[in-house]
Amino acid sequence: MNRILVFDTTHHAMWAEEIAREKGVAVEVVPAPEGVDAKCGMALEVLPDSLEDLQAALSKEGIPFVVWRG
């Protein structure tokens, strides 16, 4: 099952997508899941095998995110 990363702002979601693409991590912008505590309606979907790499890249850039485990 793919993983969903949620963000507080649209800016963070778009920045995260840019970082993912620069690192060669395949992501898809999706609507934030209902019931998740996100202030923006955007999220990124990523394959489980790429999650750790993406988390490391986003943390290095200082992009706040939460992995949704619905």
pLDDT digits (tens, 9 = 90+) for 12-49: 999 999 999 999 999 999 998 887 766 778 999 999 99
The DSSP call for residue 60 is H
User: With a threshold of 0.85, does the pTM exceed it?
Assistant: yes
Q: What are phi and psi of 49, to 5 degrees?
A: -65, -20
Q: What is the dihedral of CA 45, 66, 37, 43, to 10 degrees?
A: -20
Q: What are phi and psi of 68, to 5 degrees?
A: -80, 130
| Greater model confidence, 70 or 10 | 10
Fold classification of 3-68 is Alpha-Beta Plaits (3.30.70)
- Across 1-70, the runs of DSSP E, i.e. the strands, are 3-6, 27-31, 42-46, 66-68
- The pLDDT assigned to 40 comes to 79
pLDDT above 70: residue 55? yes
Q: Where are the domains of the chain?
A: 3-68
pLDDT above 90: residue 5? yes
Cβ atoms of 48 and 2 closer than 8 Å: yes
